[in-house]
A and B are shown apart, each in its own frame.
Chain A
Amino acid sequence: MNKIKRMLLFTLVCIVLGFIIVLAFNSDTQSVELGGVTSVRKIEELYKERIDLEDMKSEQDDQIRQLQGAISQFEEEAAGRSKHARLINEDLLKTRAYAGLVALEGPGVEIVLNDRKRDTIIANNFNYFIVHDSDVLNVINELKSSGAEAISINGTRIMANSRISCGGPTINVGKYGRFAPPFVIQAIGDPDILAASFEKPESVYHDLIAWGLEFQIKKIEHLDIPRYLGDVELRFATTIRE
């Protein structure tokens, strides 16, 4: 009797042991290097918060798209009523496309900019071997100068007033974007002309290659460039009636 009881107790504890061991193996224990005394839980909480915020943002982006769709439906309805209204609507669409408020498609080029590979970095001077905001800006400028009609960086549409500035290890793009390399720059335009502009002797391409940065350019038949998502309110400027 006593022996059976003993075995049963052992069995019970062994069940718990097996259970816990499997749980321990299944837990999300990726090796993480953490500095200082920031507890893992705090980091996890912040990470969860970030994911929540990202979800919220994409939800709201969807909402913007939906509302935009509703607006364009109303506009089409209005345009259907008279020829004059239709002309105005076409004009409006063109202006929107130019401003970056409509998703566009067409032929163009895709440029991938990336830092120099780690194994070739000379000690302490890594600053020379990473993609800087100015490099991205130069590339964008060259694309614009050779007739790019719509440009996006990592899926963020570049507007007329989009900034490209240094954000420490990242690069700020536009109002909300904050990207780390690699930077995928897409531009709609004549693929041959866009690609040829980087062969000019004064092109930033030669500088980037000289520093050993990665610069890949591809001509693409069909590119989709998303619209700008965000507010476009004019707070200070008002139109002048001519």
Chain B
Amino acid sequence: MWLPLLGILVGIVLGMVFPFTVPLAYSSYMSVAVLAALDSVFGGIKSHLKNQFESDVFLTGFFGNAILAAGLTYIGDRLDVPIYLAAIFVFGSRLFQNFAVIRRLILLKFKKKTKVIPDKQEKIEN
């Protein structure tokens, strides 16, 4: 449970130590990359809570999405058309959807722990 949080900290420290700043021209790549990573994490948490987690889906999703988004951004850069907005839009909306599902699942778990009335549980499940 605490390992992923530790991972974020390790990543932050690594990023601070890393002696390289991203030039302004690649800021659109950065936004897409941040969103791709966030999307994977939220998607992972969701499937974890749903007990549908599959590591190969998780990993390929992370890298595949990132590569596709970066490719779109690159094409958009060449064409002077902000195509990366499409990736941002998809990732962003999915982020919110996943977050909504996660929120519900966690609330459900919480309620399961506190309330012991069995037939009410059934109702909330739907």
Contact = CB atoms under 8 A, between A and B. Distances in A.
B30 interface: yes
B16 to A, nearest CB: 6
Nearest to B15: A22
Given A11-B7, A20-B33, A29-B27, A39 B77 contact: yes
Interface string B23-66: 11111001101100110110010001000010100110010000
Contacts of B77: 39, 41
Interface residues of A, number: 32
Interface in A36-70: 37-41, 44
B9 A18 contact: yes
B80 interface: yes
B38 A44 contact: no
Contact of B14 (A12, A19, A41, A44): A19
Interface residues of B, number: 41
B58 A9 contact: yes
Contacts of B110: none
Contacts of B22: 23-24, 26-28
A191 to B, nearest CB: 46
B14 A14 contact: no
Contacts, number: 126
Contacts of A30: 24
B34 A20 contact: yes
A17 B44 CA distance: 13
Given A10-B44, A16-B37, A39-B77, A22 B6 contact: no
A187 B62 CA distance: 66
B5 interface: yes
Contacts of A11: 3-4, 6-7
B67 interface: no
B55 A7 contact: no
Given A11-B6, A14-B5, A19 B15 contact: yes
B24 A17 contact: no
Contact of B4 (A5, A10, A23, A28): A10
A28 B23 contact: yes
A158 B18 CA distance: 48
Contacts of A9: 44, 55, 58-59
Interface of B: 1, 3-16, 18, 20-27, 30-31, 33-34, 37-38, 40-41, 44, 48, 53, 55, 58-59, 62, 77, 80
16 contacts: A6-B53, A10-B48, A11-B3, A11-B4, A11-B7, A15-B7, A17-B11, A17-B34, A17-B38, A17-B41, A20-B33, A21-B12, A23-B30, A27-B24, A39-B80, A40-B25
Given A10-B48, A19-B15, A23-B18, 8 more contacts: A8-B3, A9-B55, A11-B6, A17-B34, A17-B37, A26-B15, A40-B25, A40-B27
Interface of A: 5-24, 26-30, 32, 37-41, 44
